[in-house]
Structure 1
Amino acid sequence: MTTPPPTPVPVPAPAGTSGVRIGALVPLTRPGWVDAGRHLLAGMELAVGEVNDTGGIGGAPLELLVRDTAADPRRAAAAVDELAGLGVAALAGEYHSVVARAVAARADALGVPYLCSSAVLDALTDRPTDRVARLAPPQSRGWHAYADFLLRAGHRRIAVAAQPSVYWSSGIRLLRERLAPHGGTVVELGASTLSPAQVCDGLVAHRATALLLLVGHPEPAVPLVVSVRRDPRLAEILIGAPAGQPEFPSWAALLGADGAGVPFLRYLPERPGPLGARVERALRERLAEAPSFVAFEGYDTIAVLAAALRSHGTDRARIAASWPDAAVEGTRGPIRFTRPPGTRLWQWPDPPVQVADRDPAAPDRFRTLHRD
């Protein structure tokens, strides 16, 4: 496939530095998911440090130019323009799918290769492109696995407390698609219009056995969990959070025991290999807390880009053309990219997918409940 030529953009030599630049896009302020952004950046920074400790890129240091997206697509697109003008060889990162779509579109238009770390929306790009690759699994894979977990656990009457979003709407569609052939139903309870008490009333009225939180964290996720946990009518209901809110320490800090036993998707192997274990120790020291799967995605992103830069140089077109040749040992397994018929970007097909929760007996410990 041949991608149309990009709009010409002047690429100045980096001023005052001889380093090789990568633009990093991460949500570091609200309404962005700040915990995710902090972990993503920690993984990228750790990997950059290790690259530079082993000679950099052809003897030149690898530099990370960080821009806060704050979960704002327009702000992210403007950052892409800025970073392209600063001469970055490639773009990396982002957690929010709607923001990553804006980054991918603008990067493609400017001819800048973009390796998406964490956003999972299937339709990350509107058109086929050779310039965009992704490490995170497509949302369809992860949410179908989550639906399989619900079915295996005996849940057929599912309610979702959802906020308006392309990502949440896509998740609801994917759940229905997987559950319907098995007699499962999904009812929507508008988290932007209903109070937590009204959501509880809706769960009772619909005789739901599971409530999935398709909402932001900490608001309104935390008050919803507290309200459901305090309602004696809902003592047996399962609370789930497919998007991964319980992965982060702030979830446990805000909810304590109420936040345990809430299944979520995470993209880690059940047992790490030697590289994963070493990086886990380094990330734990850097973050002063247990690293999430997002931190490993950040590390792997830089590992892939560093390998491309060392093999193909800093020319943007050559980096974009290198995706099918990538062969990198990542923290969660060997990374290669494929492009099945009908897909619009280069995708790592093998990231591990699991459903996990915080163990009610020890909320700082995670349990694996289901593997894809």
Structure 2
Amino acid sequence: MSAMVNTPASHPVPQRTDSWSVPIGTLVPLTRPGWVEAGQQLLAGLESGVLDVNESGGVLGRPLELVVRDTAADPQRAVAAVEELAGLGVAALAGEYHSVVARAAATKADALGLPFLCSSAVLDALTDQPTEWVARVAPAQSHGWRVYGEFLLDAGHRRIAVAAQPSVYWESGARILRDHLAPRGGTVIDFDMGALTPSAVCDALVDHRATALLLLTGLPEPAVSIVKSVRGDERLGDIMMGAPAGQPEFAEWAALLGEDGAGIPFLRYLPERLGPIGARVEAALRERLGRAPSFVAFEGYDTIAVLAEVLRTEDVGRKRGAMPWAGVAVEGTRGPIRFSRTPGISVRQWAWAPVQVVDRDPAAPDRFRVLRTG
């Protein structure tokens, strides 16, 4: 069944969905300032998952149906969407890419008693208190960014600058790196992108004798301008740039930067080699998207696979209750998925999806190189 798309901005009159289907409220960023390509990839994965579930008989004979809302990277818009979707009687929530948005949605879902399986957001503290209403497929930021920290250390970097915009997500990432690197002799130097121009970043890199610059900024701007400035500065020929949040994964990055966007390591949540399920889904996603799927699309597909399995164990017509995340076991596109309580994580967590540090090959920017796994 095709997705029903409506955005909070259109102020729809709440109506309940088809009682025969099992509606899944779906949160994705599909307009700016959200990372639109990430939202498109996530939605493609969710839709592919629904198609496969429905072709195999649905959930207890009932088809899944996505009820899509565009969050546009706006936490308040996401909260309004969660309230609306709860009123529509969705069985659960799925999706969201941006961590700050997902946190707002998860907090509201927890307060309303609405199950939410977060697909892609990695911020450790998705809710203030432990909850059984929320679970997550993506690895927590503290796990993935520590892997990235080890990559930096192994590459010989001890003076690392971070060009960061104000955000709970970016601040959390910088803190994780600082705490991980400091005991090993690493120093993290903060560059406030609210105060510095891209050319000023180049001067600061020279002044601080940094050997690496991490882009903790939005895409396309100011990330693209920073990359172009650094690449064009003869003083910085040896500087390594990195983007742990995954900006270089997307086609927009390659289109805007070309060769300048290669050789910038980022985090990707894929295994080095896909198994049979992953390979089959990869082919379907490639056909749906018209290009190679990113790891975000696989996260979307796995979200639906998990939700379908959990809903099959429940009477979806009874009074809604917290999902039995702890009892689910699903063979996902990237390995077996189980959920557990992880220290410091407030939601049920798949610990862990595979983690890679990857870059675009300077010799062929459309090709990715795996630099580290963890």
Asked if 1:62 is matched to 2:64, the reply is yes
**Alignment check: 8 A CA contact 2:120 2:137 kept:** yes
C-alpha separation between the residues in 2 aligned to 1:350 and 1:176? 22
TM-score, length-normalised on structure 2?
A: 0.94
Matches within 5 A, 1:1-372: 14-314=16-316, 320-341=322-343, 343-372=345-374
**Structure 1 unmatched ranges of 5 or more:** 1-11
C-alpha separation between the residues in 1 aligned to 2:305 and 2:241? 36
TM-score, length-normalised on structure 1?
A: 0.95
3-state SS of paired residue (1:312): coil
C-alpha separation between the residues in 2 aligned to 1:60 and 1:174? 44
3-state SS of paired residue (2:213): strand
C-alpha separation between the residues in 2 aligned to 1:148 and 1:319? 41
Shift of 1:317: 6.9
C-alpha separation between the residues in 1 aligned to 2:69 and 2:306? 20
**Structure 2 unmatched ranges of 5 or more:** 1-13
3-state SS of paired residue (1:95): coil
What is the aligned residue count? Answer: 361
3-state SS of paired residue (2:299): helix
Change (3 A) 1:315 1:179: farther
**Alignment check: 8 A CA contact 1:89 1:316 kept:** no
3-state SS of paired residue (1:130): coil
Percent of aligned pairs sharing the same letter = 70
C-alpha separation between the residues in 2 aligned to 1:219 and 1:130? 37
Change (3 A) 1:149 1:316: farther
- 2:9 maps to none
Shift of 1:220: 0.6
3-state SS of paired residue (1:265): strand
3-state SS of paired residue (2:340): coil
C-alpha separation between the residues in 2 aligned to 1:36 and 1:101? 17
Deviates more, 1:273-282 or 1:14-23: 14-23
Shift of 1:313: 2.7
The residue type equivalent to 1:58 in the other structure is L
- 1:3 maps to none
C-alpha separation between the residues in 1 aligned to 2:15 and 2:324? 23
C-alpha separation between the residues in 2 aligned to 1:115 and 1:16? 22
Deviates more, 1:142-151 or 1:336-345: 336-345
Shift of 1:13: 8.9
C-alpha separation between the residues in 2 aligned to 1:262 and 1:89? 41
Shift of 1:350: 2.1
Shift of 1:309: 1.3
C-alpha separation between the residues in 2 aligned to 1:282 and 1:101? 31
Shift of 1:103: 0.6
C-alpha separation between the residues in 2 aligned to 1:289 and 1:155? 34
3-state SS of paired residue (1:261): coil
Query: What is the root-mean-square deviation of aligned Cα atoms in Å?
Result: 1.4
- 1:5 maps to none
Shift of 1:344: 1.8
Change (3 A) 1:105 1:285: same
**Alignment check: 8 A CA contact 2:124 2:344 kept:** no
**Alignment check: 8 A CA contact 2:96 2:118 kept:** yes
Q: 1:246-281 CA deviation, whole Å, 9 max, x = no partner?
A: 001111111000000000001000000010111111
